[in-house]
Structure 1
Amino acid sequence: MKQKTPKPDRREYTLMIVPHHTKSVFRICIPIKTIKYTAAALGICLLLLSGTMLNYRFQANAATQDKLELTQLREVNDKQKAQLTELAKATADLQEDMNRLNQLDSDLRRMVNGEEAAETSRSAPARLSNHNGQGGPEVKPNIDQLTSLVKELRAAAIQREESLTNIKSAIASKNERMAVTPSIWPASGEVTSRFGWRNSPWGGGSDWHPGIDIASSYGTPIMATADGTVTNSSWFGGYGNMVEIDHGNGIVTIYGHNSRNAVGVGQHVKKGQVVAYMGSTGMSTGTHVHYEVRVNGTAVNPSSFLQ
């Protein structure tokens, strides 16, 4: 059975324009196909235009977002640059502080040992204060350089802390030794008799004098020449009123011929503390203090201890 071929659509629309004043009527005939094609074309154009508008809006939003992010990144970058500059300055200041600590370390070692210890290290040479010559190209710091420098400074700080701790211990130990080592004059006055052989004040040639005699006014204060513990404070034969102080390490000092003792047995005294008052008790020809230093029971020359 044969299919019928559809007849072409020959419909059309007539557009009439009727002017005034009885002029001719203007007539336009528009085929239905033309209207359909025009409508389809307009639809396609609208779709394309809508897509273009949507894409433009999307691109515009994306560009705005990118611009905002770029602005934020620039702000962050500028802030980071400022922070790096400040960090570099702070690191440089810290390096200067380490240089001063190094110099202090060296000075303290010379004070403790009389000379700089050979093992003293340096993280950088000390900066001279009377010169300011500097130069070289300007190089902006970067994070890797600063991180490396901070690590070096941290290691140097740990090493310096250990070194200063050792120096502190050495100073404390030295101060303890100095405190218990006779090193000051027991009284003000004139030395009337020195350590060793002398012409006997009692006549009959020479005698051995195991200390020094210091003469001054009656009642002149007599001071302990080092820290220690009083082991005797009484009348002791020819010494008269005598004070004996044990300083440890086998060192003992004796103060004789006192008018009055100011300390008792078992009392701990400090260097420079008054322990007696000058007099002329015992075998004495006048007001003075007889001062002795004994090391492991043997009298030694006190002058080697006096400053």
Structure 2
Amino acid sequence: MGKKQKKRREIKRKLLHKYRLVILNESTFEEKISFKLSRLNVFVTGTLFIFGLIGLTTLLIAFTPLREYIPGYSSTKLKRQATELTYKTDSLVKALEYTNKYLTNIRMVLRGDVENNQINRDSLFQKFKIDPATVDLSPIREDSLLRAEVALEDKYNLFESDIESSGLIFFSPLSGSISQPYNPRIKHFAVDIVSAKDTPVKAIAAGTVIFSEWTAETGYVIILEHKNGIISVYKHNGALNKSQGDYVKAGEVIASVGNTGQLTTGPHLHFELWNNGNPLNPTDYVDFN
């Protein structure tokens, strides 16, 4: 028993014996850093470091894309491709089943192996076939009235929908006489309103300025975008009061009457009205008197 105790004490003494780790300057032998260590401290620290390194490596492999570069781990791209191939395979199997059923039916028809109680489609078509010559296609009075009502609704549908649903009411941009009316045959998709120079031009409704610049042919031009895809255009202005991106209210002054641009013969306002890319006759929606 004495020898065993003595041996244990010797091992304990060696484990707890202090050592000094010193870092010296090689030229001056000046002591820079020193540590007091024991074998037990070194063993515990090394063990903790190893376990920490193993844990960190495990986390990197488990939760980062690095695992895809380690043999034995499946790649995310390969999983995605495998899933897509599974769906495609299932679709091909169903398509093959439908094709086999179709070919089976074709074979039965070619062999004449058709059940006697099946319906003859040709007889059905012949039974319910209508001769166009026996049908009276002349329009009745109710049909003519309905056509007229629909045409009238189409003409004023924009104006009615604006007032009833969206509350959009068109103000007159300028009061004056119309020198040239709306005429799509000559591609004049506007009305020219004659007025004195520098007369204020107002916005017909609230909207955003999407264009406010000078053009060679039509002078100072300003374009407003309103609700429901409606766009109003004002050309040949003498000056512009708003810039692109500004929000204007209904009836707010946006420009003044002028005689600018090559395509003008006197002070007037060239006013256009568009709905989703289609020109509208402004006189149908705006009172210029």
Quickly name the TM-score band, shorter chain normalised: 0.3 to 0.5
The TM-score, its normalising length taken from structure 2, stands at: 0.41
